[in-house]
Structure 1
Amino acid sequence: MKLSILGTGKIVHDALDALKEVPDIEITSVFARPKSRAKAEALAKEWNIPQVWTDYAQLLAEDAADFVYVGLVNTVHYEYAKQALEAGKNVIIEKPFAPTYEEVKELIDLAAAKHCMILEAVTLLYLPNFHAMQDALAQLGPIRAVQANYSQYSSRYDKYLAGTVLPAFDPAMAGGALYDINIYNLNLICGLFGVPVSGTYTANRGFNGVDTSGVAVLRYPDFFATAVGAKDSASRGFAVVQGERGWMELEGAPNELPRVTLHADGKDCVVESNRYENRMVSEFQSFAKIFAEGDWEAVRRSNEQSLCVAKQVDELRRSAGLQAVH
């Protein structure tokens, strides 16, 4: 599988580090806007990437890539993915897929019409420990409560407090805790339990209205789930799933799922099956396999998950009165 990388930010560096472990993926190029060409050239030199593009239309017309990987700021995910699909390229798109459910649905429908694959890069969904959590649910009996917390003091928060608004804290750029960090909790919960009946979001708001932290409460027919995400304070990451016959605990950030312990039938069983230090390796391995095998059922499942979470984010954003992103 041949892949073109869009972007030069931290997530792209993490992705390139992961791709060292995925020989089935060949990187054809890196793209940046003209003003960031020097960054792209430095990245290409560091990672031995053969081509640098600053003209996206030219990339789509001439690059041999099967997929583009959209590792750009949240608010341009939609437009770059749409252009790629219209050019017949498959797309891997970083989370969040797009700022609104309407845009996510449009891109998925366009991909289907073009017979292209579009896959959201939500790391936790491809980790072995996530599949282990899915398998363990039956041992817990009827589920009664779920808690998830991913809180991390942002490296950009001090600048925000000083009045400098970077994209991570700009509501017009799909910044804030819900989109950036709580999205992992929502993917974990929706990945395990599907679409909730309803949801509400209560947020701490910054001076420009952005949600610097917040808690989502999701209601399912027989239980509730809470998802806390913070960029203005830190906590240990965890998730707990409580059932009538036992409980399951994630110790660590929900985007990494480093350690899962099952407490059921009077026993404690530790599940530690993630193989790689870089959390992104498993997802890129999965994407390469999906492409090689033409696994459209896996694409459908990925798209259903993306639609589920996007719909929920829209509802949560509205419930808290957060600014819509256009």
Structure 2
Amino acid sequence: MKLGIAGTGKVVAEFLPLVAELEHIEVTAINSTPRSAHIAKELQASYGIEEVYSNYIQFLEEADIDTVYVAVINNLHYDFVKDALQHGKHVICEKPFTMSHKELLDLEQLALDYDLVLAEAIPNQFLANYEKIIELLPQLGEIKLIECSFCKYSSRYDALLAGNVLPAFDAKSGGGALMDLNIYNIHFVLGLMGCPNEVNYFPNLEKGIDTSGVLVLGYENAKAVCTASKASNKPNRSIIQGTKGTIVVNGSTGRIEFFDFMLNDGTTAHYALNVHPHKLYAEFSTIASWIDEDDTTYAEEHLAHSLTVMDVVDRAIQSAGLATGPFSEQKIF
């Protein structure tokens, strides 16, 4: 895979040191805004990237790339992904995929029309520990309750309180606790349980944005409670409770570094199966194999899951009455 990166933010800086260990991925170009061109050049020098661009269309037309990693502000995902697909490029897009279910449906159709891989960069769906949880789930009996938490005090929260609204806390930019942190919890639950019958979001709003909130997903005989906060810290933990046993994940749903399996009959097991300590390794190595082998089957299954997630996000926003004001920019209707 010859990969071009759109963006120069924190996640890009986190990804690039990993590339040397991803034998099927070569980063050949990076695109930035003109304002961030100096950062792109620093990354070029540090990681041997061949070309640097500050014009996205020029990047798509001229760079020696077959795949684009879209890592820009959330509200720009749709346009960046659409342009890349229309230029015949496979796309790996940072979470949240888009600002609405409708936007992702449009992109899915483009990917099908152009016979291209379109995938969301959401780490937990590719981790060996998560795959093992799915495998063990039937042994828990009938699932009754799932609790997920992802709370992490944001370095940008103080700026929000001071009146400086940065993208991480700007609804028009796709910021807030639901889109940034609870999205991991939603992926975690839906990958186990599928689409819920009921979705209700209870946000704590400050300056027009959900700095924290609780999302309740209702199934026929089960409930999932997903808590996320960018305004506080806590030891993150997820618990899956069934009639015959329990799974406990200590840590965030983004990493799932290990988990404990406990049955009512006294059976216990501890699992730490992830093949690499870097949370992005599994997703990029897997998606690269889809592209290199021209295998769209798994990519389409992954995209179907992402579509369900975006449907739940839409329903969560609507349930909280956030489809007006700044959140109206999320194009739900």
- Global fold match (TM > 0.5): yes
What is the alpha-carbon distance in structure 2 between the residues aligned to residue 96 and residue 18 of structure 1? 22
Tell me which amino acid in the other structure corresponds to 1:80: F
2:236 counterpart of 1:224: no
Deviation per CA, 1:163-194: give whole Å up to 9, x if none: 11000001111110000000000000001111
Shift of 1:116: 1.0
Shift of 1:302: 0.9
1:290 maps to what in 2? Answer: 290
2:308 maps to what in 1? Answer: 308
Tell me which amino acid in the other structure corresponds to 2:223: F
2:259 maps to what in 1? Answer: 260
Shift of 1:67: 0.5
1:67-106 aligned within 5 A: 67-106=67-106
Shift of 1:59: 1.5
1:250 maps to what in 2? Answer: 249
Shift of 1:17: 2.2
Shift of 1:47: 1.0
Q: Is the 8 A contact 1:25 1:288 kept in 2?
A: yes
1:5-16 aligned within 5 A: 5-16=5-16
Shift of 1:321: 1.6
What is the alpha-carbon distance in structure 2 between the residues aligned to residue 148 and residue 21 of structure 1? 31
What is the alpha-carbon distance in structure 2 between the residues aligned to residue 232 and residue 35 of structure 1? 29
Deviation per CA, 1:39-67: give whole Å up to 9, x if none: 11011111111110112112211222110
What is the alpha-carbon distance in structure 1 between the residues aligned to residue 48 and residue 28 of structure 2? 10
Tell me which amino acid in the other structure corresponds to 1:245: K
Tell me which amino acid in the other structure corresponds to 2:12: V
Which deviates further from its counterpart, 14-23 or 131-140?
Answer: 14-23
Q: Is the 8 A contact 2:29 2:64 kept in 1?
A: no
What is the alpha-carbon distance in structure 2 between the residues aligned to residue 301 and residue 92 of structure 1? 15
2:202 maps to what in 1? Answer: 202
Tell me which amino acid in the other structure corresponds to 1:227: C
2:253 counterpart of 1:241: no
- Structural RMSD (CA): 0.9
Instruction: Find the residue that maps to 1:36 and give its secondary structure.
Output: helix
2:153 counterpart of 1:127: no
Number of aligned residue pairs:
325
Q: Is the 8 A contact 1:238 1:252 kept in 2?
A: yes
Shift of 1:18: 2.4
Shift of 1:20: 2.4
1:59 maps to what in 2? Answer: 59
Q: Is the 8 A contact 2:123 2:255 kept in 1?
A: yes
1:29 maps to what in 2? Answer: 29
1:145-156 aligned within 5 A: 145-156=145-156
What is the alpha-carbon distance in structure 2 between the residues aligned to residue 237 and residue 74 of structure 1? 24
1:277 maps to what in 2? Answer: 277
Tell me which amino acid in the other structure corresponds to 2:36: S
1:215 maps to what in 2? Answer: 214
The answer for unaligned runs of 5 or more in structure 1 is none
The alignment-based identity, stated in percent, is 36
Instruction: Find the residue that maps to 2:21 and give its secondary structure.
Output: coil
Q: Is the 8 A contact 1:240 1:248 kept in 2?
A: yes
Instruction: Find the residue that maps to 1:181 and give its secondary structure.
Output: helix
Deviation per CA, 1:219-267: give whole Å up to 9, x if none: 1111010000100111111111000000101010110001111001412
Shift of 1:33: 1.4
1:159 maps to what in 2? Answer: 159
